[in-house]
Chain A
Amino acid sequence: VSPKHPAAARARPTRGIHRFRRVFQVSFLVLFFVLLTLTVWPLGSVFLGVFLGADPLIAINSAVNGVWLWPMAFAVGMLLLPLVAGRAFCGYVCPTGSIIEFATPSTGPGRLSPKARGRLRALPTFVLIGCLGLILFANGAYLFFDPLATLTRTATTLVYPALDRFVRLAGDVAYLAAPLRPVTDFVTGALEGRLLFPDPLVYGFQVGVLAMFATMLALSWIEPRMWCRDLCPLGALLGLVGRVGPVGRVVDSDACISCAKCARACPMNAVSEDFLRTDASRCQSCYACADVCPVDAVHLGTKPARWSYTPSRRAALVAGGAAAAVGFFSFTGLARATKNANLIRPPGGRPETDMLALCSRCGQCMKVCPTNVLQPAVAEAGLEGLFTPHMDYAVGFCDWSCNECGKVCPTGAIRRLTLPAKRTTVIGRAHIDRNRCIPWADAQTCLVCQELCPVPDKAISILEETFTAPDGRRVTLGRPQVVASRCIGCGVCENNCPVANMAAIRVYTTRPAS
């Protein structure tokens, strides 16, 4: 059939809500970054974590692990949406999808052969089977690949630290001109604690986050939107629901001239080879196919003709078995750190097994943390604990007046604690290294740890002693000791200890070994 069919010359106006897809995408992208930027101490009443809260993949994972938070009600709606609108989330809402679509080739055939493309079509099914294997064994590591968690993580560890650095540098340059100083001071004051922090923000594993996001984008050059089409676990979940949707893309087979324009225009590779059927597990309801159809044969309708990959029983069994085996071994210690005295979870953090099962690895707690103490675990919690939050007192300390990490956690891996509760929650215990501590080892005065200890009656006591210093002098000094029953492990002492590079007072976990 020639594309030069008489009807093809007819100019057709696009119509319907899908015309505004770009508007939706940009709006949600902006909203996502606005909300994330506002996720700083003190959190207002606006619900800032709505994207992650409404993420059905995260909500299902939490629910399976026995945690239910009210924002997950949104996630139920999100999970049911594909019944009527396919993966509209991917095409209209998902900020990660929008970035991939805007920044990389998003339509048309890729470099792959039709055969290879056909194999890729099977991938989402096995992604889901893999997730299931991990869910069964209380391992939330697959949430590392959740698109909303990924974008939150990428922005937290890369975008905001870069902004912080550049605003700082701009301020330093502006300060050279004396007339600009009041303005610079005003801007600095206004941005302090929002985009600018006392010390430049640092995060571990930045290069890993960058590599992952770059890979997600780069995949599009192999096959347009390959991440969204074939690998995204959230997309796979929504596609699973979409398979049974009673509404979708319907093609009038009498009108269709098989010009293949729809297949070329489809950003999700959801149009079958005969152009009449739709892969409902992929269709994002953008109706780019309808817009390009020269004969107006594509409509939104009921009982769409489906065309989706269904694994053979054998393939499903093999994959399921493999996934369960991986889950089993990960749970029993394949990549789990069981004993690490330096692994301190934030206050409200659930026990280690629950933490690894629940944490979405999104890094939103690290975004809100005003002192930068919350850092992604790189190797501290084992491979499966990658990017779960832990406290690094070389970077910051847990501030007495802050309990925000529990408020922003979308999974409940960090429980919400009231300030009084947080102030009595023990996450670790400080130990003084008398071989390095200034009053103990150098016979000089120092009590910074006691001075800044926030707990009532102080977890550091000062032992007034007269002793012989290493050089033979008799000196009388106050020497610090830790009162274990009062220490909550907030790390103010370790963070402020003047002993260079590794504090002479260090906090170790009080978590029982698993």
Chain B
Amino acid sequence: LERREFCRYLGVCTLAACTGGLSGCARALEWSQSQHTRVVTRTFGAPAPSAPSEETSSGEASRSAEATEPARPKPPDIAVVKGDDPAANTRLAVSMLGGMERFVKRGARVVIKPNMLTAREPELGVTTNPRAVAEVVKMCWQAGARSVTVFDRPTAPARQVYTVSGIAAAVDRMDGRMKVLTQRDFESIKIPEGRVLSSWPMVADIFDADVMINMPCAKTHGLAVLTMSMKNLMGILGGTRGLVHQQFDQKIVDVNTLVKPQLVILDAYRILFRNGPTGGGPQDVRMGRTCVAGTSQVAVDAYGTTLFGMKPADLDYLKLAAAQGLGTIDLSKLRIEKRSA
């Protein structure tokens, strides 16, 4: 082997190795995106226990203030509270359902999904009231939660949305954790009962958690008419956002067949009654001063339509959900308890 020839071989081999190495680098950079394309089956956590009084005997739950109240025989399906303080409304509504201890056991990992669609000040009614979110975080800690995580998949950069909506500061004050979602948090999850969506990337954290609390706000929506708790679950979807907007009502129902948050708290302290879901100005916002809580998304949304002067049957996705047996939208069959804080 001549020196010249050897050098030539060496050069070619080095070039080939470099190319291989570089393409490896390129693949590494994109690697996480390819991680989650495989469709996996995940089961959502157990539904909320129906009777809270069984648990209070254990003694653990008596640590919190609500548990010392005389236990009601059976909590209502829907608790509706009116009042001037969103935090107090939320606290009372949850305690009417049997207190946070009913949903959050000691050591439970809790995720809270508020509506943080985009970066708007709380006064514009586009995002869930930060004081209500903070109060829920506080109640979770009081019930003995191990971790409380708050997240959404916003349409604007997460840091801006979390900051401008006031939710980051409110949750920080209560020592809750704001989680910024990235590509790696999504898994393609099978929706066994989905009629249009058979699988879609979803935030894996809600399947890892013990308890999920859905905290929507009451807004109008051009396509779904109203966006409340069922539609709020669309915020756990990853992938290309715009691609879920065809056969939208059925897709909302499909996601709701898989993900059934144990506790649903509809913040209607401010109601965005037109130009939803992103609003435009304070003129689109009406003070609802209401908090609606329940354990069924369908029931809560059915009641929520009355806040806008509508009937549950006005929403296609509610009709579809009822037809698929996800819950009742007949308000006369729901036990609704109203109080003021």
Chain A residues at the B interface, C-beta cutoff of 8 Å: 41-42, 165, 168-169, 171-172, 175, 185, 188-189, 192-194, 196-198, 370-371, 399-402, 438, 444-448, 450-458, 462, 478, 492, 496-499
Contact = CB atoms under 8 A, between A and B. Distances in A.
A505 to B, nearest CB: 11
A239 to B, nearest CB: 42
B222 A478 contact: yes
7 contacts: A371-B157, A399-B119, A399-B157, A445-B246, A446-B245, A498-B243, A499-B242
Interface stretch (B274-282, B306-314, B324-332): B274-282
A193 B164 CA distance: 13
Contacts of A497: 242
Contacts of A453: 278
B223 A445 contact: yes
B50 interface: no
Nearest to B281: A456
A452 B275 contact: no
Contact of A169 (B28, B163, B178, B180): B28
B158 interface: yes
Interface centre among A165, A401, A452 (most CB of B within 10 A): A401
B31 A169 contact: yes
Contacts, number: 116
A64 B240 CA distance: 48
Contact of B156 (A169, A371, A478, A498): A371
B240 A498 contact: yes
A446 B278 contact: no
Contacts of B19: none
Contact of A400 (B119, B159, B163, B284): B119
B179 interface: yes
A198 B222 contact: no
A491 to B, nearest CB: 12
Identify which of B119, B159, B246, B283 gathers the most chain A CB atoms within 10 Å of its CB: B159
B291 to A, nearest CB: 25
Nearest to A486: B280
B269 to A, nearest CB: 21
A132 to B, nearest CB: 42
B138 interface: no
B213 to A, nearest CB: 19
B246 A457 contact: no
Contacts of B223: 445-447, 451, 478
B180 A188 contact: yes
Contacts of B160: 41, 193, 370, 399, 401-402
Given A165-B29, A447-B222, A496-B155, A454 B278 contact: yes
B241 A496 contact: yes
Closest 7 CB pairs of A and B: A498-B242, A193-B159, A456-B280, A172-B32, A401-B119, A192-B180, A448-B242
A513 to B, nearest CB: 32
Contacts of B278: 451-454
A165 B278 CA distance: 31
Nearest to A503: B242
Interface string B207-227: 000000000000001110000
B222 A462 contact: yes
Given A41-B160, A172-B32, A371-B156, A456 B275 contact: yes
B90 to A, nearest CB: 25
Nearest to A454: B278
B247 interface: yes
B112 to A, nearest CB: 15
Nearest to B165: A401
A422 B279 CA distance: 17
B222 A457 contact: no
A172 B159 contact: no
A370 B158 CA distance: 10
B118 interface: yes
Interface in B43-65: none
A175 B159 CA distance: 21
A369 to B, nearest CB: 10
A448 B245 contact: yes
A311 B27 CA distance: 56
B340 interface: no
Contacts of A196: 182
Contacts of B281: 456
Contact of B275 (A192, A399, A458): A458
Contacts of A444: 246-247
Contacts of B119: 399-401
A446 B246 CA distance: 6
B151 to A, nearest CB: 10
Nearest to B248: A445
Nearest to A402: B160
Nearest to B249: A445
> Interface centre among A42, A168, A192, A451, by most B CB within 10 Å?
A451
B91 interface: no
Given A169-B31, A452-B118, A188 B182 contact: yes
B157 A452 contact: no
Contacts of A168: 29, 32, 182
A178 to B, nearest CB: 10
Contacts of A438: 246
B270 interface: no
Contacts of B28: 169
Interface centre among A452, A492, A497 (most CB of B within 10 A): A452
Contacts of B177: 185, 189
B158 A198 contact: yes
A458 B179 CA distance: 31
B184 interface: yes
Contacts of A175: 32, 184
B260 interface: no
Nearest to A172: B32
A188 B120 CA distance: 23
Contacts of B155: 452, 492, 496
A458 B272 CA distance: 14
Given A169-B31, A172-B35, A193-B158, 11 more contacts: A42-B163, A172-B184, A175-B184, A370-B157, A400-B156, A401-B120, A446-B242, A452-B278, A457-B275, A498-B240, A498-B245
Interface string B264-304: 00000000000101101101100000000000000000000
A189 B157 CA distance: 12
Contact of A445 (B31, B156, B247, B277): B247
Given A197-B157, A370-B160, A401-B120, A172 B240 contact: no
A432 to B, nearest CB: 14
Contact of A399 (B156, B246, B284): B156
B42 to A, nearest CB: 16
Interface in B162-181: 163-164, 177-180
Interface string B20-48: 00000000110110010000000000000
A357 to B, nearest CB: 32
